[in-house]
Amino acid sequence: MLVDFRPTGKLRGKKPVDATAALGPVIDALVEDSVDLSRARVVCDWVQYRNNFRDVVDIRPILASHDRNSEVTPVALAAVVTEEQMEVAIDLRRSGEVELKDFTRELMRAGGASGDPSRVYLEPWLVTSASIIWDFNALYWKALDVWEQATGQPYEKTLPGGESDARNRDAVREMITSLFALWDSLAARNALPEELYVVELGPGNGNQAKAWLDEFVALDQEHGSDYYRRLHYLMGDYSPHVVELARAAVADHAQHVSAFVLDATQPLTALGFLRYKIFLVYISNVYDNLPADEVAQIGGRTYIVETRAYLTRQAAAEIAHTVSAQPDEIPGLIRKLIRLGPALLAEALPAHFPSVQVAAEFWQRCWAALRLEERYQPLAGLDLYQIAPGVSGEMLRPLLESGADIRMHVSNGAVASFVDTVPLLHPFGRLICYDLFVTDLHNYRTSFRGPGKYDGSVVNWLNGPLLAHIGRRKGFDVDYQRFAHRTGTNIVTMTAQVRD
């Protein structure tokens, strides 16, 4: 049996974690069961997100061969592993909340290929980027007004620090000052185009854009260069509601702003006419909100993590009771919620949802109760897996083969966005992104990096070394620096520009 204790930093310090108190009862439960202990792994994490998709203990099959019920393309496998293995995952932060031994014993008994009868499943096994959690995420941004009305607080308050770092004046000033320096040097060579384009992806409530544009005007006046007159600030978001919010927030700059619906994973579709013309692509807290898979290297083999969303039958029964439904009707009602949104859902099914508020509460309860079962599906060849359009899974190889076993994000949405954005950049242009980046792969071996729940949305750290590796292959330098303008933040600034 192998024990992978990841949060080693928690074993020391003022309040060290009692590792044996968590491991002991779980191992006792395994020993009592008839499971082949030589094929078991126990993994301990510290899940820092209070709201997340995990249970205190989870059991994850490590499949020996391709499961016919998988949505992942079947692959011919070298018959290296012939027996299924099993991973038992413990969330140490919550390990004191349950009787661990009983809890694990029950889980071992309930699990089975066809599923645990004490769970109501919302989807078949899927790669995580295809999970219903991303439909919930998109719904959150689409119907943000309904959600915020129900919680009584704007989404920005739920971010660490209570507001986006993209509003930080010093950071904005630094960015604009260096843009002016570039424009001055191009102007001195008669190489500055008349139109000066800046693009922001995922503007949220528009506060970031407002901070940027207000500062731009002030600095331009100081600078005396008349750049504001030539500025075009383009904002694209996939939520029409967010687009309107952001547009309203920058009404003072209406002459210089265009706001439109755009999927951040395919910016070229709408912005292709600006190829090589954009001086700055500005993205904050969006990449961590784009769909992502996870892959793992375990015992020399490569796996993709498959997930299956569920509610416990108890949670489903409690939720069903609030909307005059049966527990087994909940998956269908959730699908309708996602298709229609809370307002239309209340109109379409008044017997279950007599008001938008009831529909919103249903949405929030389902989201809070939503969990993900996981299993490891073997991948025979990385070249058979696509990270994003035109980006082969082979890009993962140096990272997966970087040492000991590892499980990491593929950041598929961020990679898709990145490779579809860089062709827009002017040869001296830059992509600047504030987000949660893992910058040292070893971090994946010592910390939990998502997915977690932020209010009604998903948060996932980003695989920085992977983005840098793909960037280099495309001829771009990708640099990561700790966000310099607020202490204690986990935000990292990623900068990408054409390699010198």
Ligand X SMILES: C[S@@+](CC[C@H](N)C(=O)[O-])C[C@H]1O[C@@H](n2cnc3c(N)ncnc32)[C@H](O)[C@@H]1O
Neighbouring CB atoms inside 10 A of 258's CB total 12
Residue 208 contacts ligand X per CB under 6 A:
yes
Q: How many degrees, rounded to 5, is the angle at CA 423 between CA 248 and CA 214?
A: 30
The distance of closest approach from Cβ of residue 448 to ligand X in the complex, given in angstroms and rounded to an integer, is 20
Burial 298-315 (b: 16+ CB within 10 A, else e): beebbbbbbbbbbbbbeb
With respect to ligand X, which residue has the nearer C-beta, 193 or 389? 389
Q: List, in order, residues 6 or more apart from 70 with CB less than 8 Å away.
A: 125, 306, 377
CB 490 within 8 A of CB 436: yes
The residues in 20-79 that bind ligand X, with binding defined as CB under 6 A, are none
Segment interacting with ligand X, rule: CB under 6 A, options 78-86, 183-191, 196-204, 215-223:
196-204
- Structure token digits, residue 95: 């390990």
How far apart are the C-alpha atoms of 70 and 148, rounded to whole Å?
A: 37
Residue 374 contacts ligand X per CB under 6 A:
no
Residue 243 contacts ligand X per CB under 6 A:
no
CB 308 within 8 A of CB 126: yes
With respect to ligand X, which residue has the nearer C-beta, 89 or 198? 198
Backbone phi, then psi, for 68, in 5-degree steps? -60, -25
Segment interacting with ligand X, rule: CB under 6 A, options 54-62, 232-240, 325-333, 361-369:
232-240
Residue nearest to ligand X (CB): 204
With respect to ligand X, which residue has the nearer C-beta, 296 or 414? 414
x/- mask, ligand X, residues 251-290, rule CB under 6 A, reads ------------xxx------------------xxx--xx
Per-position DSSP letters for 84-151, written without gaps between them: -EEEEEEEGGGGGGS-HHHHHHHHHHH--TT--TTEEESS-SEEGGGSTHHHHHHHHHHTHHHHHHHH
**Which position among 7, 25, 61, 202 is part of the footprint of ligand X (CB under 6 A)?**
202
The residues in 126-185 that bind ligand X, with binding defined as CB under 6 A, are 141, 164, 166
With respect to ligand X, which residue has the nearer C-beta, 302 or 412? 412
Judged by DSSP in three states, 74 sits in coil
With respect to ligand X, which residue has the nearer C-beta, 23 or 211? 211
Rounded to a whole number, what is the distance in angstroms from the first to the last CA of the chain? 50
x/- mask, ligand X, residues 288-307, rule CB under 6 A, reads -xx-----------------
The distance of closest approach from Cβ of residue 272 to ligand X in the complex, given in angstroms and rounded to an integer, is 16
Neighbouring CB atoms inside 10 A of 102's CB total 11
Segment interacting with ligand X, rule: CB under 6 A, options 10-18, 67-75, 121-129, 203-211:
203-211
Half-sphere exposure of residue 445: CA atoms within 13 angstroms, side-chain side: 14
With respect to ligand X, which residue has the nearer C-beta, 259 or 319? 259
CB 362 within 8 A of CB 319: yes
**Which position among 238, 418, 476, 480 is part of the footprint of ligand X (CB under 6 A)?**
238
Distance, CA of 380 to chain centre:
26
With respect to ligand X, which residue has the nearer C-beta, 179 or 459? 459
With respect to ligand X, which residue has the nearer C-beta, 42 or 146? 146
The distance of closest approach from Cβ of residue 168 to ligand X in the complex, given in angstroms and rounded to an integer, is 10
Segment interacting with ligand X, rule: CB under 6 A, options 108-116, 187-195, 231-239, 296-304:
231-239
Number of residues that bind ligand X (CB under 6 A): 19
Q: List, in order, residues 6 or more apart from 358 with CB less than 8 Å away.
A: 322, 323, 346, 352
The residues in 338-357 that bind ligand X, with binding defined as CB under 6 A, are none
CB 371 within 8 A of CB 307: no
With respect to ligand X, which residue has the nearer C-beta, 279 or 282? 282
The distance of closest approach from Cβ of residue 204 to ligand X in the complex, given in angstroms and rounded to an integer, is 2
With respect to ligand X, which residue has the nearer C-beta, 28 or 263? 263
Segment interacting with ligand X, rule: CB under 6 A, options 9-17, 182-190, 234-242, 249-257:
234-242
The distance of closest approach from Cβ of residue 469 to ligand X in the complex, given in angstroms and rounded to an integer, is 23
Neighbouring-strand partners of residue 462: 437
Q: List, in order, residues 6 or more apart from 163 with CB less than 8 Å away.
A: 156, 157, 207
With respect to ligand X, which residue has the nearer C-beta, 242 or 424? 242
**Which position among 143, 242, 271, 441 is part of the footprint of ligand X (CB under 6 A)?**
242
Kindly list the residues in this chain that would bind ligand X in the complex (CB under 6 A).
Answer: 141, 164, 166, 202-204, 208, 237-239, 242, 263-265, 284-286, 289-290
